[in-house]
Amino acid sequence: MIYLSSRQILGSLILILLTLISCKRQLLPTSFSFFKRTAPLNRKISMIEYEEIGKFETKNAIQGLRDYLKADSFRTTSILNKSHNKKGLLSFIEGADHLPLSEAINYEKEFSGLKDVLFTDSDDTSAVLSGVEETSTQSDIFTDDNSVDH
C-alpha cells in the first residue's frame, strides 16, 4: 500500500526493502520452523517393535484410566451406578487385570491362528512374488522401456 500511494516510488521501495531485511531474522525462522516441527517421521518398524509399543501404550492407557477413576469419587460413583459389573470395575480400579481370565482365554482360542495367516515370513512373500514374475510376460501392461502399449 505504501508503494502505490507514494509519489516517491524509489524511496518507498527502499523503505519496504529495509523493513523486510530488518524483520527477516524475526519472521522467517518462525515460519519455516513450523514446517520442520510438524513434519512426520516415517520409519518402518518390525513386528516385535509394534507389539512392544502396543503393550507399552496399553499399559499406560489402563493406568491412566485407573488414575482417572481414582481422582474423583463422585465420578466413580456415577460410573459404578451405570456399570453392569460393579465388582469387576472396583477390582480393576484397585489394580486387577482389565480382562477376566475366561475372556482372555476365549480371545486366544479364537484369534491365535489369525496371526500366523496375516504375518507370514519374508521367505513366503518372496516365493509368492517370484511366482508372479515368472507368469508375467512382455505383452502385459508395460513393455521393456516402461512405456504404455498402444
What does the block give as the cell for 125?
512373500
With vertex at residue 45, the alpha carbon angle to CA 64 and CA 59, rounded to the nearest 5 degrees, is 15
**pTM here?**
0.45
Check: CB of residue 149 under 8 Å from CB of residue 141.
yes
Would you state the pLDDT for residue 44? 86
10-residue mean pLDDT series, the chain (150 residues): 65 82 68 61 86 94 90 84 86 85 86 69 48 43 45
Would you state the pLDDT for residue 108? 85
The single residue listed with the C-alpha cell 482389565 is: 98
Report how far residue 136's alpha carbon sits from residue 128's, in angstroms, rounded to the nearest whole number.
Answer: 13
Would you state the pLDDT for residue 126? 47
Would you state the pLDDT for residue 49? 93
Would you state the pLDDT for residue 26? 66
Would you state the pLDDT for residue 110? 85
Would you state the pLDDT for residue 122? 52
Check: CB of residue 32 under 8 Å from CB of residue 40.
no
